[in-house]
Amino acid sequence: MQTERVTIYDVAREAGVSPSTVSRVLSGRSNVNALTRGRVQAVIDKHSFTPSSLAQGLLQKNTRTLGIILPGVEHPYYASMFTGAHSEAQRLGYALQLFPIRPQETMTKPFMELIDKRRLDGVILSGGVVEAILNDGLVSQLQQLLRAIPAVAVCPPIPGLNCINIYSDLTSSVRQSLRHLYTLGHRRIAFLGGSYESRSAGERELGFIDEAEHLGLPSRYRNEAGHSPQAGETGVIKLLNPLPKGEWPTALLCINDLVALGAMRQLRRMQINIPAEMAIVGCDNQFFSSYTCPPLTTVDLHPDEHGRAAIQQLVSSIGREHITFSQLQPATLIVRESCGAALGFRKFP
């Protein structure tokens, strides 16, 4: 099968010109006699001929294909980022190839080989890979890869890894959430979710501690439960159970909407009213978060913008010399009902 492809030679012969002329017509970069061009174009159209990007790439040493290394697209956060990156890449005439990698995988090597083999023009790194680096000391290996191929990391800068970094202002995200709760009268606020291995989680938690102390609040209410709804459920239990009811936090700052979802379910089980008895704020503004009961106050990190920005930086760094800088992306607090903003300032015991 695979019907024989029409080549530039076939077109040339049929149009009675040389292959180079056809090439010129295709690229439009050189002058061609109008009549000749018309004849050639007609043949091109007739067969709807498209030059093989393989042959082109072989010659021009590029593939017009970019890679993006992610934990996958099932998590809506990464799906958004991928979508943003993909549409921007497409707009700039590049294809985008996904390389999913699970956090526990140490398989950086095979991926690097693949990237090398497929001769990608550039790579975006985010999530799992970047987390994995710290665990496995692969920094130097990756740094080596970066010498051969332009890369943009969508994460905070990593010591020893010099590349362009684009990342959310997670500190600001936490700060905004915390202040929002503070303004509503909350003085015992807990941080729920994350894990010690996770860089991004760590940054949020640090931001939480920092800002809590800044506001004169206790920062001891914390539980690194994980990142899933289940983590939210167990986290609430672990957080509240050891405490006498009078010392319970009055608000939960969840590391993401998934954790918030689980936390809300557990609170419902425990007959604790949201937001009257417990305020909740999530993070990520996932599509379902406006449909929880009550609708969840959260923070939009704009992952699609990150993807877009990363591609832009990546593409503009192709063919140029290696540079390295950081770009901090803003986060937006989205107030809905889970914190009781409508109730205004309240005094908690």
Partner DNA sequence: CTGTTAGCGCATTCAG
Partner DNA sequence: CTGAATGCGCTAACAG
In the complex, the residues that contact DNA under the rule CB under 7 A are 5, 7-9, 16-24, 26-27, 29-33, 35-37, 49, 51-52, 54-56, 58-61
Name the binder of 347 from DNA, a copy of itself, none, CB < 5-8 A by kind: none
Beta partners for residue 123, in sequence order: 67, 151
The amino acid sitting at 174 is V
Residue 53 DSSP SS3 = helix
Name the binder of 272 from a copy of itself, DNA, none, CB < 5-8 A by kind: none
Under the binding rule (CB under 8 A), the answer on residue 342 touching a copy of itself is no
Under the binding rule (CB under 8 A), the answer on residue 265 touching a copy of itself is yes
Name the binder of 191 from a copy of itself, DNA, none, CB < 5-8 A by kind: none
DSSP codes joined into one string, 166-205: EEE-HHHHHHHHHHHHHHTT--SEEEE-B-TT-HHHHHHH
User: 170 CB contacts (<8 Å, ≥6 apart)?
Assistant: 200, 203, 204, 207, 301, 331
Name the binder of 135 from DNA, a copy of itself, none, CB < 5-8 A by kind: none
- Distance CA(30)–CA(38), nearest Å, equals 14
Under the binding rule (CB under 8 A), the answer on residue 83 touching a copy of itself is yes
Under the binding rule (CB under 8 A), the answer on residue 117 touching a copy of itself is yes
- Distance CA(136)–CA(142), nearest Å, equals 11
Nearer to a copy of itself, 30 or 52 (CB): 52
Nearer to DNA, 10 or 197 (CB): 10
Name the binder of 209 from a copy of itself, DNA, none, CB < 5-8 A by kind: none
Nearer to DNA, 10 or 105 (CB): 10
Residue 313 DSSP SS3 = helix
